[in-house]
């Protein structure tokens, strides 16, 4: 069993989607597996709907805030994968390819996706490739959302 890490990111729901809230970026020496992720909004409740997609990318965002994955076991070494939050829309988005999940969600709901490790989303052992959680549609509002990725490597 590999080492487990959590990455946490935040972003305002974009007025003009798409825009990415959180990404996990692989490296040449590992094949990370995302086995759980959570999305929620802690701002004042409003009746809005948002569509999120988990999508593979072949180049990470060029305009995002770096996130350091935190080990679930404090004795584990620093994570080899890296992460980004709050990617800017447009030119700052990762170069996306295959959509792996589409989740439509009311702002007032919290969604958790978890799988047995053998059913997890696998990232390639390729530099700058990974998976991002993107706002793909927003019915209204610009509330701030929080996302967590849990992965093994």
Partner 1 sequence: MGRRYATTGAKVSAAGTTQLVLTSAATMRPRLYEVIWGSATAPADAALELALLRFTASGTGTGVTPKPFDPSDPASSCTAAENLTVEPSYALVTAMQEVGLNQQITWRWVTAPYEGIAMPAIAANGVGLKFITISAGTPTCQATFYHDE
Report the interface residues with partner 1, using CB under 8 A.
Answer: 47-51, 53, 56, 98-106, 109, 111, 113, 115-116, 118-124, 129, 136-140
Distances in whole angstroms, Cα of residue 58 to Cα of each of 5, 11, 61, 95: 22, 22, 10, 6
Q: Between 78 and 102, name the residue whose CB sits nearer to partner 1.
A: 102
Helix (H, G, I), strand (E, B) or coil at 118: helix
Q: Between 97 and 144, name the residue whose CB sits nearer to partner 1.
A: 97
We find the least distance from the C-beta atom of residue 74 to partner 1, in angstroms, to be 30
We find the least distance from the C-beta atom of residue 69 to partner 1, in angstroms, to be 20
**Can you name the residues that pair with 52 across neighbouring β-strands?**
103, 135
We find the least distance from the C-beta atom of residue 58 to partner 1, in angstroms, to be 10
Q: Between 62 and 122, name the residue whose CB sits nearer to partner 1.
A: 122
Q: Between 68 and 108, name the residue whose CB sits nearer to partner 1.
A: 108
Q: Cβ contacts of residue 96 below 8 Å, gap of 6+?
A: 55, 56, 57, 132, 134
Locus of tokens 């909004």: 41
We find the least distance from the C-beta atom of residue 77 to partner 1, in angstroms, to be 25
DSSP letter at 124 equals P
Half-sphere exposure of 41 (CA within 13 A, CB side): 23
């Amino acid at each position: 069993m590999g080492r487990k890490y959590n990455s946490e990111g935040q972003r305002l729901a974009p007025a003009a989607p798409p825009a990415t809230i959180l990404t996990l970026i692989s490296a040449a020496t590992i094949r990370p597996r995302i086995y759980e992720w959570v999305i929620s909004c802690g701002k004042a409740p409003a009746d809005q709907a948002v569509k999120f997609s988990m999508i593979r990318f072949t180049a990470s965002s060029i305009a995002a805030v770096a996130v350091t994955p935190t080990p679930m076991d404090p004795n584990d070494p620093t994570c080899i994968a890296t992460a980004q939050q709050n990617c800017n829309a447009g030119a700052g988005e990762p170069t996306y390819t295959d959509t792996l999940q589409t989740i439509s969600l009311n702002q007032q709901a919290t969604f958790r996706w978890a799988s047995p490790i053998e059913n997890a989303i696998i990232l390639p052992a390729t530099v700058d490739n990974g998976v991002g959680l993107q706002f793909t549609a927003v019915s209204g509002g610009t509330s701030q959302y929080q996302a967590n990725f849990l992965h093994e490597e």
